């Protein structure tokens, strides 16, 4: 009987060792690759999240820089930039051999402006975008003659900044004077975008 028990015990140990070998092979064949793949995916996720954070910060700074470097800023700046506007007027003055006697600035003066048909801009449903502000400059100018006056007007039209001539007034020279000096007042509106 002891012999029978010994045979069963050996068989039992052999089956038990085969069972553990089977479990070990299943673990090595299936579970270990899956767990190592899971770990590599976790590492990849952490790396990608770091890369995304870096790229978002970089794109945000590039977006800010691209707005500041945009060619549209020369047309409609982000601030009033009166110094640049006055410099532009001085360049126009020099190029046309005219003399600007006086400059007066008014801010956001076109909110209730009446257009050519006599209708209020608010009643026509046309409104300016949020953050868009206007600067109106009234210039009193002396030009030596009509050709210099036209040169002055052409130079105003060629300014980089968006401008519109709202009003132009001529003053009649004295009848006794033999000079052809043109004295006029021009009202110019330009815009800036305040964020």
Task: Show the 3-state SS of 62-89.
Answer: HHHHHHHCCCHHHHCCCCCCHHHHHHHH
Q: 135-185: per-residue pLDDT in tens?
A: 999 999 999 988 999 999 999 999 989 899 999 998 876 666 667 788 999
What pLDDT is attached to residue 118?
A: 44
Specify the pLDDT at position 120: 44
Write out the two tokens for 135: 């600067």
All residue ranges of the chain with pLDDT < 70 are: 1-5, 63-70, 109-126, 173-178, 195
Q: Which of 192, 193, 161, 165 is nearest to 75 (CA)?
A: 161
What is the token pair recorded at 85? 């506007």
pLDDT for position 195: 66
- pLDDT score of 4: 63
Contact assessment for residue 168 and residue 183, using Cβ atoms and an 8 Å cutoff: no
Rounded to 10 degrees, what is the CA torsion of 75, 81, 83, 85? Answer: 30
3-state helix, strand, coil in the chain (%, to 5): 50, 25, 25
Reported pTM: 0.56
- Report CA-CA distances (Å) from 30 to 78, 129, 145: 62, 63, 95
């Amino acid at each position: 009987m002891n012999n029978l028990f010994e045979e069963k015990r050996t068989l039992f140990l052999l089956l038990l060792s085969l069972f553990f070998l089977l479990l070990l092979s299943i673990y090595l064949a299936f579970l270990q690759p899956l767990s190592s793949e899971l770990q590599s995916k976790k590492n990849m996720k952490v790396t990608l999240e770091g890369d995304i954070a870096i790229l978002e910060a970089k794109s945000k700074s590039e977006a800010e820089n691209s707005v500041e470097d945009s060619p549209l800023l020369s047309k409609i700046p982000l601030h009033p930039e009166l110094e640049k506007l006055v410099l532009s007027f001085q360049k126009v003055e020099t190029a046309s051999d005219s003399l600007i006697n006086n400059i007066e600035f008014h801010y956001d003066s076109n909110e209730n402006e009446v257009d050519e048909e006599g209708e209020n801009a608010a009643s026509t449903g046309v409104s300016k975008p949020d953050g868009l502000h206007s600067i109106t400059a009234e210039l009193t100018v002396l030009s030596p003659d009509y050709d210099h006056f036209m040169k002055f007007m052409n130079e105003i039209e060629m300014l980089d900044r968006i401008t519109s001539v709202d009003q132009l007034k001529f003053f009649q020279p004295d009848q006794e004077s033999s000079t052809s000096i043109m004295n006029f007042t021009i009202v110019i509106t330009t815009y800036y975008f305040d964020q």
